[in-house]
Structure 1
Amino acid sequence: MIRPDLFSKNVLAKIQKKSSYTVAYQWDGMQRFPLAEDMIQYFDRFFVFDERDTVRYPHTQHIHNFYFDYLPENHEIKQDLFFVGTFMKDRIDELCRLSILFQEMNLNANINVIYNKEKHIRKYREYPIHFTRSGMSFEENMKNAKASKIILDFQNSIHKGLSFRVFEAVGFRKKLITNNSLVKNYDFFHPGNMFLLNGHNMDEISDFLAADYVQSSEEIYQRYSFSNWIQFLFS
């Protein structure tokens, strides 16, 4: 079960009674969805996205995200760069600066920000960003990622972990621009493939994009796939 906090205790208790083995994955920080804390008791294994949650909740295990490996290998490139995310005050200014930079570099950048209040985004309307009240399906997001050369990723300050964007960049063989320093702790990290934003190095992005993508081993591509991820959960 993914996002067990969305179910009632009564439903989870019935599932537990009917099942010989139950596994949960809370794919957002427990602090963000605190109801999940009360659901740990209904599962044989309870995995969390934020590694710090394993300290707060000793009966949980950490696991990283993944990329879906069922999409066709070949995908036509339709844009240079892709980003989709909800409006967040702590990252919108940097995203706006990047959108101007990408425009100056003549990149075909598909940048999408989902918002719910017009007052939040009114002063940013002049930037080359697509503001929308409706999001896109997960599959549409993945297809956009596969149709791009570069994926842009921003860390959510609420929790600590790597988003799906990072693993999609790995699995789909895309270059990644991110401000999440945790990527350096993984075996797939390569400075030729992943550019770590630090607030002072935007002028180095053009050199990063000019360099060729560096292929990783097939073992690494397999390690972070959904096929491997789901096998691990039930092993």
Structure 2
Amino acid sequence: MTRKTIILAMPPSNGIVELIEKNLQFHGYEVLRIDSILKFKYNNLWERTYQFFHKHITKSNTYKKKLKVKQSFYKAQQLLANNHYDYTLVIRPDIYPQNVLTLLKQHTKNKFIGYQWDGLKRFPVKNIIHLFDQFYIFDHTDLTNPDYQNYQLHNITNFYFDMVQPHRVKNNKLLAYYIGDHQACRVAAIEHCAEKLAKNGVDIKFIIPTSKTKDIKCYKSKHITFGKQNRLSYYENLKHVDSSDILVDFVIAGHNGLSFRHFEALYYQKKLITTNTHVQYYDFYHPNNIFIWDEKNLDEIQEFLAKPFIQIDTHIVEKYSFKNWIKNILDKSFY
């Protein structure tokens, strides 16, 4: 049987693109990644010199932006050559130039699909959404965003990577794990949660992968680790997920969709502490397993930690797997 082919276009950061590529291959797809076209370098000294003077004279970066668009389009042409693919999946399409998106669509035989796994208010796509055959969003509240009422949007959740198998690591003490970039809106919640868990005898592994002094100074808790060396690949991150007992999630202001952490907790059978109140409306929610923290009820954390973990129905768990996610995205067979 001939393998279906797919172009994967998404951000290259944190190694998650490698995991998505491997999971696509695991489920029978032949994958062409094009995230390499986003890497920019000057072709010669003249371009670099011209950019230097242009930026300082005009106080703008328009010349470099034009170079990036031109270079990424040329690289995409080289990668695609004369080949055509069954599908194209573009995650975070706002980071790709419109002419590159048009080119990708021309090389797609069946469906040209966009997925914005960040809120439309943070990263708008209004000027490019018309290019796609189907467009998915992870934040269900974007379905009622007045700026997008003339567009057909489909809501779909994130997922867990079913190719990676849990190993059920057993700790002597409960271990809580969190990793996330510095966001000023999350500082107070992160510190408060770390301190409260530590007081309840929980080991803390809270990582903010930054070495910027101004960011580090925002935190006072001794339970938080910093440094660029702590920027893990996504696969390394999943090893920490596997070896933890409790996963912690702090929603970014303005987000309502569920982060990957929710589905990893479901798959790896970990307890979850989250500030995202929308999780209570999902079919996998159980109060023994998921603690919704509203910054006033942390005194109830000890009772939550003492409750036994409740097994969730296998069919519900499988519903949020990558296998089911990609089937829904490509075949439009909604769950």
For normalisation by structure 2, the TM-score amounts to 0.66
Equivalence map 1:1-235=2 (5 Å): 1-20=90-109, 21-34=111-124, 36-56=125-145, 57=148, 58-77=151-170, 80-115=175-210, 117-122=212-217, 124-133=219-228, 135-235=231-331
Contact persistence 1:77–1:146 (CA under 8 A) = no
Q: CA deviation at 1:75?
A: 4.0
SS at structure 2 position matched to 1:46: strand
Unaligned runs of 5+ in 1: none
Match of 2:197, as an amino acid?
F
Query: Residues of 2 paired with 1:116 and 1:30: CA distance?
Result: 29
SS at structure 1 position matched to 2:143: helix
Query: Residues of 1 paired with 2:100 and 2:184: CA distance?
Result: 37
Identity, % of aligned pairs? Answer: 35
Task: Tell me the residue number matched to 2:14.
Answer: none
Unaligned runs of 5+ in 2: 1-89
Match of 2:119, as an amino acid?
G
Distance 1:25 1:76, change over 3 A: same
SS at structure 2 position matched to 1:151: strand
Contact persistence 1:99–1:127 (CA under 8 A) = no
State the aligned residue count: 234
Query: Which region of structure 1 is more displaced relative to structure 2, 194-203 or 47-56?
Result: 47-56
Contact persistence 1:81–1:108 (CA under 8 A) = yes
Query: Residues of 2 paired with 1:230 and 1:126: CA distance?
Result: 40
Match of 2:311, as an amino acid?
Q
Match of 1:19, as an amino acid?
T
Q: In angstroms, what is the RMSD of aligned CA positions?
A: 1.7
Q: Which has the larger radius of gyration?
A: 2
Query: Residues of 2 paired with 1:63 and 1:201: CA distance?
Result: 30
Query: Residues of 2 paired with 1:229 and 1:209: CA distance?
Result: 31
Query: Residues of 2 paired with 1:149 and 1:121: CA distance?
Result: 26
Q: CA deviation at 1:125?
A: 4.5
